[in-house]
């Protein structure tokens, strides 16, 4: 009877260790597979600011030498005009680049995203005017 008091907790402890180890191996394997399934994790990604309508700016995002995103106008807004400055276009392009790097496809941009980045002029946020 004395041996059972020692053997049962020891077996439970060993089972716990084995299950914990198996879970850790599974999670590590899952994370590696997720990284391997992301074609953009180690890709060469660059941003090129481009001229757009009415002296505004858009951007191209180039991945491994090929244009992945051609955005001559402000995303999430109607119309053809781009950003009022190169800096604003670059800010949004870098935001999109981060999404691409994380394999968030499509790398969409919302009006809320644009407002949070502070890249819109007053007239652009009030689309009813």
Instruction: Verify that 30 and 77 share a domain, yes or no.
Output: no
Instruction: Verify that 121 and 94 share a domain, yes or no.
Output: yes
Instruction: Verify that 1 and 56 share a domain, yes or no.
Output: no
Instruction: Verify that 67 and 91 share a domain, yes or no.
Output: yes
Instruction: Verify that 49 and 105 share a domain, yes or no.
Output: yes
- C-alpha–C-alpha distance, residues 50 and 89, integer Å: 9
State pTM to two decimals. 0.67
Give the list of residues 6+ apart from residue 97 with CB closer than 8 angstroms, or none: 45, 47, 61
pLDDT (tens digit per residue) in 25-36: 666 655 555 556
Element (H, E) at 61: strand 56-63
pLDDT (tens digit per residue) in 45-88: 999 999 999 999 999 999 999 999 999 999 999 999 999 999 99
Domain with 75, as residue range(s), is 45-125
Domain count within the chain: 2
Instruction: Calculate the alpha carbon distances from 117 to 63, 83, 84, 128 in Å.
Output: 23, 12, 14, 21
């Amino acid at each position: 009877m004395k041996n059972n008091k020692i053997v049962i907790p020891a077996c439970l402890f060993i089972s716990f260790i084995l299950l914990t180890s198996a879970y850790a191996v599974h999670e590590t394997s899952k994370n590696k597979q997720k990284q391997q399934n992301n074609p953009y994790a180690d890709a060469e990604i660059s941003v090129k600011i481009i001229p757009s309508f009415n002296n505004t700016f858009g951007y191209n995002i180039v991945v491994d030498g090929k244009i992945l995103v051609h955005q001559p106008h402000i995303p999430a807004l109607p119309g053809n005009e781009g950003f009022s400055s190169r800096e604003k276009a670059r800010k949004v392009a870098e935001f999109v680049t981060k999404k691409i790097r994380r394999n968030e496809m499509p790398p969409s941009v919302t009006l809320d995203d644009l407002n949070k980045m502070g890249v819109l002029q007053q007239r652009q946020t009030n689309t009813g005017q």
